[in-house]
Structure 1
Amino acid sequence: MATSVLDNMLYKKGFTSETMGNIFSEKNSIQKLLDVEAVLARAQAKIGMIPVEAAEIITEKAKYEIIDLAELERQYAVTSHPFIPLLKAFTKNCGNAGQYVHWGATTQDIMDTAMILQVKEAYNEIFEKLLELNRSLVKMSKQHRDLIMMGRTNGQHALPITLGFKFAVWTAETQRHILRITECKDRLFVGQFSGAVGTLASIGKQGINVRQLMFQELGLQEPVITWNTSRDNLVEFASVVGIMASTMGKIGNEVYTLQKQEFSELEDHIAAGSVGSSTMPHKRNPFEALQIVSLSRLLRTVVFEAYETLENEHERDPRSLSLEYDYIGRMCCMAAAALDKTIRLVDNLVVNEKSFERNMSLLQGLVYSEAVMMKLGEEIGRENAHELVHKLAMQATEKSVPFKDVLLSSEVISGRFTEDEIDELLKPENYLGLAQQFVDNVLSKNHDLLQDTQ
């Protein structure tokens, strides 16, 4: 039975990557739990807490392939516990050495540490894809640095910008995502080994040595104190992923909008053999873009779920842990899918330069009203200039005539500026502000950022 898009053959390829699917597979989840038990045994053997021979057997038997999965299901029906069935099966497989399995540990020690190992693998996948998306956006920022298009505010034509400027804004967002996800790494990759209530009472002072050896081998940080009921490390990661998803959603939504025939400025690449509609043969639907938007919305809902794990009772509260079993894998899978799709969208984006030119002239020069107002303001003051230019702009709109004609008919304007000077004010390349300089600033910062992350 498939109750999630991640389980459904028809949908799952659109909601995860193959690598991320493997990271959060049943096999890898169980293997990580066994790995932690084996590392615990080896650490305890090194300090003489358990026999070396027992640790060797525990390590040898810590393999997913020899676990009786059918027995796990039967035991779960009896215990209703997510880990005890596996622990029983593993202990049984170890024979006499099984008495040393899980020595001094509690379920959450093993499950939290195993989960962090999975998150670490997922983090590396997400981080590499984020860097790739950043590189794709940088390429587009450079390539279209000087390609003039209409900038829009409140859904309306505003002032000219360049397409490179639009991409540079998104590039700058990915720069901040790279910083955020890098900064949370040390707080995130922290193991858990603290016993029943977090005090390591079961093995006392030796527990510090065991913990050091465990996490050194696993490549994790040691906690200063237990984080049984402190899930902020994971929630921070979820928050970063949620913010990152919003950038991808913004890119997808912009392409989705600008592909409408009324704009026709950007277009999701349509692969050979792709079909837009089962009934309308002419359709060229922006499937990649719309799927990115959908994934972005789903990922933001995960952030709310993550925040529900922050308030816990006493020294342990499994009610929060149950939420993590659901949201962490789902979040990472969807984040990987969103990144893959956004990279493909950007890399294969169709740019329709003729549409940019056409749309720039739709309002017959009205988008340069600010340029005229600022120039006129030098003569008669900004407020007076704004009032007059607004009046002239409304006349041009109502009569559907070129803005230039209305400007020339005004004695105030024509008495101060020649027709050639007005023409210069109505050229988009003369009112780009510092758009290209800002693109260059972003590209320069990107070079420095990537140098620091290597």
Structure 2
Amino acid sequence: MSDGHGLFDGVLAAGPVAELVGDRAWVQAMLDFEGALASAAAAAGAIPDEAAVAIESCCRAEDYDIGALGADAVRIGNPAGPLVRALTERVAPEAAAYVHLGATSQDVIDTAAMVVTARALAALHADLRTCATRLAQLAEEHAGTVMAGRSLLQQAPPVTFGRTAAGWLGGIVAALDRIDLIRRERLAVQFGGAVGTLSSLRGNGIPVLSELARRLGLVEPVLPWHTERSRIAEIAGTLGQTCGAVAKIARDITLLAQTEIGEVSEQGPPGSGGSSTMPHKRNPVAAVLAAGSAAQAPGLVATLLSAGAHEHQRAAGSWHAEWRPLVELLRSTGSSVHWLRVCLERLQVDPQRMRVNLDSTGGQLLAEHVAIELTSVSHGAVGRQEASDLVAVCCRAAGPDDLADVLAADAVVGKFLNRKRIGELLEPAGYLGSTDEFIRRALNDWQSRL
């Protein structure tokens, strides 16, 4: 894919990551490898210092025709070969012999993949931290904003919106943890030559490898990983996990924003969230686009994992199968996180509507509270299952506003619980358990990482 703007890019390639994984970024990353390799070789005494300087001076992506490199890639099956040839033609003749010394095409592209991924993950990390900060703010502000919990899409015992936001925060923090680990430990330089022995560098292989990793800011691997692709698998898994965390939040927001629920909404700039045919619509468009971008991830992760079996010392096809899905996965993940950030910046919470929805079943979502209290005050005379069954019968018999009266009139329930106590038990704010402590724990966990 070119760096130009495609028809769907504004939707599915939004945010800073898209540019960081585009064609020009890849070419620059490959040239960064070649420049760093020359400098590392010079530092190890394998090539003259002047040659390294000459090679590095020609490692600017804007000097190369990306379209021509792509067209020439079919000759050897990858774009590194044409780029090395073009670089060699650009450098001074006395330095030409030292271009790409000791490396193979896969070294260039695998290392470029790590460089591109590192830059993309840095941008992704920044957007995720912004999301986490906003979620922590929502969790704190709405710690006491009671809303209906929902189980299997039906109303369940109450929660607070702060607890909901804290749960969302947990998913984002977990994604940040994985991204931090990948950035710190798993983005490694690739340098092994034709079959992973660096034989063409004779005794200079390891010193050049070490210096190359240092100059590129990548991990120095124990040995070349041409056909050991756990790094790619871990990157894929982490990006998939991130998209899963985003998709969960986006899905919840789109559900809570439904007309019939209306507990949250997005307040974007004029014109955002509209419809091509329905003038009244106010769609949570950023949440929708976050979900749509995140939905690309599972198939891309699966492709990268299925390409993990690389035969012998260098694979035929499996390595090539990784390029496009890795780019698309980084781009889609970046877009999903970008749109989540926009969504959270626009998000408006409606506590009054939450209360209306809480009261819409006449207290039936507190039936569990009544059953537990009945078991407790009867001192075992009414068992847990019996209490649950008794309360369920009352719920089925009750109208929208008379559950407390029906419960009080029941021979068994009324024997142990009077009408006043039943009314207290049906107050949502009185059945929140450890909600406050869970929110506090989530916020403390996030604060400890800042």
Tell me the residue number matched to 1:267. 265
C-alpha displacement of 1:374: 0.9
Check 1:46–1:376 CA distance in 2 against 1; reply closer, same or farther (3 A cut).
closer
Local SS of the residue matching 2:189: coil
Mapping of residues 280-429 of structure 1, within 5 Å: 280-378=278-376, 379=378, 380=381, 381-396=383-398, 402-429=402-429
Tell me the residue number matched to 1:135. 133
Whether the 8 Å contact between 2:72 and 2:79 is mirrored in structure 1 is no
Deviations 1:27-83 (A, max 9, x none): 222122122112212222233322222222212222223335565356345444422
Whether the 8 Å contact between 2:286 and 2:339 is mirrored in structure 1 is yes
- Structure 2 counterpart of 1:173, which letter? G
Deviations 1:371-430 (A, max 9, x none): 11111112023233222212212222xx55521121121132223222221111111111
Distance in 1, matches of 2:98 and 2:111, equals: 19
Distance in 1, matches of 2:335 and 2:4, equals: 15
Does the alignment pair 1:39 with 2:36? yes
Whether the 8 Å contact between 2:34 and 2:108 is mirrored in structure 1 is yes
Distance in 2, matches of 1:65 and 1:259, equals: 46
Does the alignment pair 1:58 with 2:60? no
TM-score of the two chains, using structure 1 as the length reference: 0.93
Q: Which runs of 5+ in 2 are unaligned?
A: none
C-alpha displacement of 1:314: 0.7
Check 1:409–1:259 CA distance in 2 against 1; reply closer, same or farther (3 A cut).
same
Mapping of residues 177-192 of structure 1, within 5 Å: 177-192=175-190
Local SS of the residue matching 2:448: helix
Distance in 1, matches of 2:191 and 2:75, equals: 27
Whether the 8 Å contact between 1:43 and 1:214 is mirrored in structure 2 is yes
Does the alignment pair 1:147 with 2:145? yes
Whether the 8 Å contact between 1:302 and 1:331 is mirrored in structure 2 is yes
Whether the 8 Å contact between 1:312 and 1:320 is mirrored in structure 2 is yes
Check 1:77–1:47 CA distance in 2 against 1; reply closer, same or farther (3 A cut).
closer
Local SS of the residue matching 1:158: strand
Deviations 1:125-146 (A, max 9, x none): 1111111111111000001000
Local SS of the residue matching 2:114: helix
Distance in 2, matches of 1:77 and 1:336, equals: 29
Distance in 2, matches of 1:432 and 1:74, equals: 63
Local SS of the residue matching 2:200: coil
Distance in 2, matches of 1:74 and 1:359, equals: 60
C-alpha displacement of 1:441: 1.2
C-alpha displacement of 1:270: 3.8
Does the alignment pair 1:91 with 2:88? yes
Tell me the residue number matched to 1:194. 192
Indicate the larger mover: 424-433 or 412-421.
412-421
Check 1:74–1:328 CA distance in 2 against 1; reply closer, same or farther (3 A cut).
closer
Tell me the residue number matched to 2:22. 25
C-alpha displacement of 1:204: 2.7
Which residue among 104, 110, 113 is the counterpart of 2:108?
A: 110
Distance in 2, matches of 1:412 and 1:72, equals: 82
Query: Identity over the aligned pairs, expressed in percent?
Result: 29
Tell me the residue number matched to 1:436. 436
C-alpha displacement of 1:448: 1.3
Indicate the larger mover: 85-94 or 406-415.
406-415
For these two proteins, the number of residue pairs brought into alignment is 445
Whether the 8 Å contact between 1:270 and 1:284 is mirrored in structure 2 is no
Deviations 1:271-324 (A, max 9, x none): 223362222211112211111111111022221111022111111114122222
Q: CA RMSD in A?
A: 2.0
Distance in 2, matches of 1:51 and 1:81, equals: 29
Check 1:444–1:76 CA distance in 2 against 1; reply closer, same or farther (3 A cut).
closer
